[in-house]
Structure 1
Amino acid sequence: MGDNTLVLGHRISEWCGVAPVLEEDIALANTALDLIGQTQLWLGLAGEVEDKGRDADRLAFHRDVWDFRNLLLVEQPNGDFGRTMMRQFLFDGWHLAQLRGLMGSNNDQVAAIAEKSVKEVTYHLERATDTVIGLGDGTEESHKRMQAALDRLYPYVGEMFIADAVDEEMVSAGIAPDPASLRPGYEAMLDAVLAEATLQKPADDFAHKGGKSGARHTEHLGHMLTQMQWLQRAYPDATW
């Protein structure tokens, strides 16, 4: 959870100062701040559980690509504004469902982080949904770009619902929901929004996978980390 919000938060922050209009620049920056705030909570908890003296900052800035466990979707490049918002929408729909499931966790800390985060992510999904509909059912050019974004990103959706050994252990311990159980509701939401946006969901159900287990990442994550981690790598443990 922490790696997902960290990577996507950084990706969205790349729009700061260069978004299409001022309102979107501010909205994207605020979304990035929400996600980075959630990252501090998730990675802070991860550091406590690990009990090796690593805090959220060390986990964020002192790990290499192969140690990250984020979904492949969130590390995809921003592309144009339409692709950024389609990526946000596809992630937010899963993120909100996952957080709602985690609110029922038998781990009090996990449940508390989820409860705080769900308020922010509810807004993220509402905003992303409105934008996808507005651009999808907008001009010929905006529709074309949104369909291209959906075609490119949809193959990364399936990974969100594929359970690995960690997921299975978390489910059996009552800490997290079964990923597969979230898919029917997600697909129903997706179909409704895409219909209103006049966009066609790809028929191929192929799913890229490997990011959440750390088995495989795209080349994009490594390039992103060279930017995100540069200062801490150049000046280890610097404070200001």
Structure 2
Amino acid sequence: MSGNVYDALGERHGDDTHWAFGTGFDTDAVEVTAAVPDGADVGDLAAYCLMLGDDALICSHRLTEWVSNAPELEEEVALANTALDLLGQARLLLARAGHLAGDGDEDRLAYWRGDAEFRHVALAELDDELDFARCVARLLVFASWRLALLHRLRGCADPVVAAVAERGVKELAYHRDYAARWVVRLGDGTPDSHERMRAALDWVWPSVGELFGCSEVERRLAGAGVAVDPGTVRDEVDAVLDQVLAAATLTRPRLPPAGPVGGRGGRDGVHTEAFGHLLAEMQSLARAHPGATW
């Protein structure tokens, strides 16, 4: 990771001139049936993989809604491939969760759970209503937070989580930088674009506090060298956001306290009404044709 986040926005990454296309995971090289690390409870590890997998899956689905709706073809391709990156992470994490819990593969976990069984943070499911400023505001916060988590999880005692983290930090660096470029462009653009970006930040900010709350599962697994306490990445994420917002001539809305409003949130299976609509759309084909293959 670059020592200066905003300077990194203009850096080239190896031979890549713009984007990392596709999921990039060699699924054959990752053994989802690997033994549970010493000191980790199998149920806790399954729950943790489900959390991380659901975060990626639901954010990925939200980004796919921009296909055919983005303001330019280049942005449509960029958002679609960001969604593919997250989907690749989700597939391995859900496959690991399903194996550990003994309740199915990634397809069953994606398409046959009810809304209260999902464990993603609320930020992932927010409906941006195809407002591009909201889309990039959500992506900036989500990618900055997940990048900080996965950067620490590269040394995870669980080989599947570690493999996802190792590849994921490269992908999320692109996602964060892409979103940051747009936040700066809109915030430091015209009076109208500045106001729309400011409003988008106000829209996304109530969901930020939940990102840094630590569940009991995460707390137990952190002691076994498997999970990361999200509270430990808060300063890093704050620094990233402050740097980008300063370049965008924007000010940070007041950050909510850590944890969901009211004490319960996405990690507890408590979701917004908008998530029900998202889930119905995402699961409709699988439920209309159960057992179908193509």
Once residues 215 and 231 of structure 1 are traced to their aligned partners in structure 2, the CA distance between those partners, rounded to angstroms, is 23
Q: 1:148: Cα distance to partner? A: 0.4
Once residues 179 and 90 of structure 1 are traced to their aligned partners in structure 2, the CA distance between those partners, rounded to angstroms, is 14
Could you tell me which of 270, 275, 292 is aligned with 1:216?
Answer: 270
1:148 matches 2:199: yes
Name the residue aligned to 1:226: 280
Query: Residue 229 of structure 1: SS of its match in structure 2?
Result: helix
Q: 1:51: Cα distance to partner? A: 2.0
Deviation per CA, 1:120-151: give whole Å up to 9, x if none.
Answer: 11111111111111111111111101100101
Answer yes or no: is the 8 Å Cα contact 2:95–2:105 preserved in 1.
Answer: yes
Name the residue aligned to 1:157: 208
Answer yes or no: is the 8 Å Cα contact 1:61–1:229 preserved in 2.
Answer: yes
Once residues 226 and 232 of structure 1 are traced to their aligned partners in structure 2, the CA distance between those partners, rounded to angstroms, is 10
Structure 1, unpaired ranges of 5+: none
Answer yes or no: is the 8 Å Cα contact 1:3–1:70 preserved in 2.
Answer: yes
Q: 1:48: Cα distance to partner? A: 1.5
Name the residue aligned to 2:99: 48
Q: 1:204: Cα distance to partner? A: 5.1
Answer yes or no: is the 8 Å Cα contact 2:208–2:255 preserved in 1.
Answer: no
Once residues 140 and 77 of structure 2 are traced to their aligned partners in structure 1, the CA distance between those partners, rounded to angstroms, is 18
Considering fraction of residues, name the structure with more helix: 1
Name the residue aligned to 1:236: 290
Of 199-208 and 230-239, the range deviating more from structure 2: 199-208
| TM-score (structure 1 length as normaliser) | 0.96
Query: Residue 175 of structure 1: SS of its match in structure 2?
Result: coil
Could you tell me which of 162, 185, 193 is aligned with 2:244?
Answer: 193
Once residues 265 and 66 of structure 2 are traced to their aligned partners in structure 1, the CA distance between those partners, rounded to angstroms, is 24
Give the letter for the 2:117 counterpart.
Answer: D
Name the residue aligned to 1:67: 117
Identity across the alignment (%): 46
Query: Residue 73 of structure 1: SS of its match in structure 2?
Result: helix
Once residues 252 and 99 of structure 2 are traced to their aligned partners in structure 1, the CA distance between those partners, rounded to angstroms, is 41
Q: 1:199: Cα distance to partner? A: 1.0
Deviation per CA, 1:7-66: give whole Å up to 9, x if none.
Answer: 0101000110111011101111111111111111110111111123x0001100000100
| TM-score (structure 2 length as normaliser) | 0.79
Give the letter for the 1:195 counterpart.
Answer: A
Answer yes or no: is the 8 Å Cα contact 1:12–1:78 preserved in 2.
Answer: no
1:205 matches 2:256: yes
Name the residue aligned to 2:67: 16
Once residues 237 and 273 of structure 2 are traced to their aligned partners in structure 1, the CA distance between those partners, rounded to angstroms, is 28
Give the letter for the 1:55 counterpart.
Answer: D
Q: 1:215: Cα distance to partner? A: 4.0
Once residues 211 and 219 of structure 1 are traced to their aligned partners in structure 2, the CA distance between those partners, rounded to angstroms, is 13
Query: Residue 213 of structure 1: SS of its match in structure 2?
Result: helix
Once residues 212 and 48 of structure 1 are traced to their aligned partners in structure 2, the CA distance between those partners, rounded to angstroms, is 23
Give the letter for the 2:115 counterpart.
Answer: V
Equivalenced residue count is: 239
Query: Residue 228 of structure 2: SS of its match in structure 1?
Result: coil
Once residues 172 and 237 of structure 1 are traced to their aligned partners in structure 2, the CA distance between those partners, rounded to angstroms, is 40
Once residues 208 and 133 of structure 1 are traced to their aligned partners in structure 2, the CA distance between those partners, rounded to angstroms, is 28
Once residues 48 and 118 of structure 1 are traced to their aligned partners in structure 2, the CA distance between those partners, rounded to angstroms, is 24
RMSD over aligned Cα atoms: 1.2
Name the residue aligned to 1:27: 78
Deviation per CA, 1:198-235: give whole Å up to 9, x if none.
Answer: 11111252564533422411111111001000011111
Once residues 184 and 93 of structure 1 are traced to their aligned partners in structure 2, the CA distance between those partners, rounded to angstroms, is 11
Of 119-128 and 199-208, the range deviating more from structure 2: 199-208
Deviation per CA, 1:70-126: give whole Å up to 9, x if none.
Answer: 010110012301100100001000010010111111112211111011111111111
Answer yes or no: is the 8 Å Cα contact 2:213–2:260 preserved in 1.
Answer: no
Answer yes or no: is the 8 Å Cα contact 2:118–2:269 preserved in 1.
Answer: no
Name the residue aligned to 1:93: 144
Name the residue aligned to 2:5: none
Give the letter for the 1:64 counterpart.
Answer: G
